[in-house]
Chain A
Amino acid sequence: MSDPDRTTIVILGAGKGGTALLELFSRLPEVEIVGIADREASAPGLQYADRLSIPTTQDLLTLIRHPGINLIVNVTGDPDLDHLIAAQKHPETEALGGAASKVLWDLVQHESQMQAQLFQAEKLAGMGTFASGIAHDINNPLYILLAFAENIREETDLATIHEQAKSIIDAGKRIQSICQNITQYARAAKARDATLVEVNTTLDEALKIAQFATILQDLSIVRNYEEHLEVLANPDELFQVFVNLMTNAIHAMEGKGTLSIASWRENGLGKISIADTGHGISKEHLQKIFDPFFTTKPEGEGTGLGLHNARAIVKKYQGELSVVSEVGKGTTFIIELPNSATQ
């Protein structure tokens, strides 16, 4: 009844442990969560599942008896339930409970901790690049500014002085606009609720930041936007996703190529594509790129959480992040998010 490659899972218990499991499993494409059950209707996991469009129930037994389930995970911590499962489950269904599910729960917790750490580490690794890129962009006008100011101190011709003062002002304004761009990126991604986000301006702002990620570049950028396209998401998070995908794309091209960014409406969804003409991703790798910690970059350059997190963010807003790639030709990422018009 379902994909033979995928593992179908039922989660019993929607407390802390159940929610963490739900969060983890929902990100794995190999796992299909058939349902989650808890006797308490107010359990946090049930609400979370609702948002992910996963069936919820308070009737544990129906789920346990459900045919075609590969695995039942019991995180209620109720030993009696383990016996009930053993008695009532489909013979082919495996069950995980007691100490085993406790270990699994620990593992998940540890995992998410690691994830947070690595997320930080990745940020640190990227910092060098960004810092250098930003410094370069600021240092050029700063040099102009300082040198003209030094010259004005020795200059006697008023016309020249006024002209060079103009150059100083221009250089100052250039630095100001760079500062505004980076401050925008730095803005703390506060847990804001999803609002309507103007896609195109967010894309343009993200592009300004992503361009700091590379030096010695010769990139052409093609933009093809549908006007007034809005999607429902947290603007800051969406911004981070865009920066992430664009930075990846720019890195993949190793300084030469075309970065194409497009946005359009389709089937009541807002769609965004970010395409590069880089080296592409092989088929075997393509399946794994959204896995946590997957990376094709040399060690030390990235921890591979970027795409994973990006997909998590997109999914949080009932969206989808997909990828098409051909080795030697390039990679295209497509984001689908609910469009305001339909919601």
Chain B
Amino acid sequence: MSESKSAGMFSGRESQGLVLVVDDEPDVRKVVRMTLEKSGYEVLEAEDGEKAIEEVKKGENSMLLSLIITDIRMPNMNGIDVINYYRKEWPSVPLIVLTGFPDMDMATSMLKHGIVDYLVKPVEAEKLRASVAKAMEQREVRGF
């Protein structure tokens, strides 16, 4: 609790990072935005992969993009295709999958492909924040 508060204080001054949220449901995006903005992250939204690329190409977003949170349901793609799609566009940006599919095999397979986390909805706000923080840490360790 106190942690999230202090993070909130920071948010006024400095962004903790730019997070792209891809989900076809506007309310899901809104909810993720709500959760992350409280911790001082900036959030971009897109409803699918194509829109995501458009969104990131705006302004300096591509320089600042530090994390992608995505659902794996996308037109014409299976789960791994989705991962590879982002990899191709932004190889160094960490990925978190946030989906309604409670599937351990899928999760394992995705984790093997290097995503940071596989979160099943409904995910608690704290868990999502922890996961995002972990991704940011990894990003710093990797030096991107």
Indicate if A touches B (C-beta under 8 A): yes
Q: What are the residues of chain B within 8 A of A255 when measuring CB–CB? A: 78
Asked whether A142 lies within 8 Å of B121 as measured between CB atoms, the reply is yes
Q: 9 additional contacts, CB 8 Å, given A135-B101, A171-B27, A216-B79?
A: A139-B122, A140-B25, A140-B121, A142-B121, A143-B100, A144-B27, A145-B122, A170-B27, A256-B76
Distance to closest chain A CB from B6 (angstroms): 16
Closest 7 CB pairs of A and B: A139-B100, A136-B100, A143-B121, A143-B122, A147-B31, A139-B121, A218-B75
Which residues of chain A have C-beta atoms less than 8 A from B76's C-beta? Answer: 218, 256
Closest Cβ of chain A: how far from B66's Cβ, in Å? 22
Whole-angstrom CA separation of A132 from B76 in the bound complex: 19
Asked whether A151 lies within 8 Å of B78 as measured between CB atoms, the reply is: no
The complex places the Cα of A86 from the Cα of B33 at a distance, in Å, of 85
Contact A216:B122 (CB < 8 A) given known A135-B100, A143-B28, A143-B31: no
Q: Which residues of B contact A140 (CB under 8 A)?
A: 25, 28, 100, 121
Q: Please list the residues of chain A having a beta carbon within 8 angstroms of any beta carbon in chain B.
A: 132, 135-140, 142-148, 150-151, 167, 170-171, 215-218, 255-256
Please report the C-alpha to C-alpha distance between residue A200 and residue B79 in the assembled complex, in whole angstroms.
Answer: 34
Closest to B31 in A: A147
A217 to B78, CA, bound (A): 8
A239 CA to B100 CA, complexed, in Å: 27
Question: What chain B residues lie within 8 Å of A146 (beta carbons)?
Answer: 122
List B1-46 residues whose CB lies under 8 Å from chain A. 25, 27-28, 30-31, 34-35
Number of interface residues of B (CB under 8 A): 25
B54 an interface residue at 8 Å Cβ cutoff?
no
B-side contacts of A151, CB under 8 Å: 31, 34
Binding site for A on B (CB under 8 A): 25, 27-28, 30-31, 34-35, 72-79, 99-103, 120-123, 125
Q: List 28 A-B contacts (CB under 8 A).
A: A132-B101, A132-B103, A135-B100, A136-B73, A136-B101, A136-B102, A138-B100, A139-B100, A139-B120, A139-B121, A140-B28, A143-B31, A143-B100, A143-B122, A143-B123, A144-B25, A144-B27, A144-B31, A146-B122, A147-B31, A147-B35, A147-B122, A148-B31, A151-B34, A167-B30, A170-B27, A215-B101, A216-B74
Contacts of B74 in A (CB 8 A): 216
User: Whole-angstrom distance from the CB of A215 to the nearest CB of chain B?
Assistant: 6
Give complex CA distance A84, B101 in Å.
67
CB distance from A126 to the nearest CB of B (A): 15
Q: With a CB–CB cut-off of 8 A, which chain A residues contact B99?
A: 136
Alpha-carbon distance A170/B14, docked complex (angstroms): 35
**Chain B nearest CB, measured from A218 CB (Å):** 4
Q: Which residues of chain B have C-beta atoms less than 8 A from A148's C-beta?
A: 31
Cβ-defined contact, B25 with A132, below 8 A:
no
A147 to B37: give the CA distance in the assembly, Å.
13
Closest CB in chain B relative to A284 CB, distance in Å: 30
Contact B27 A167 (CB under 8 A): yes
Q: How far is the CA of A151 from the CA of B38 in the complex (A)?
A: 10
* Beta-carbon nearest neighbor of B32 in chain A: A147
How many Å lie between the Cα of A123 and that of B28 in the bound state? 32
Neighbour of B125 across the interface among A136, A145, A150, A171, CB < 8 A = A150
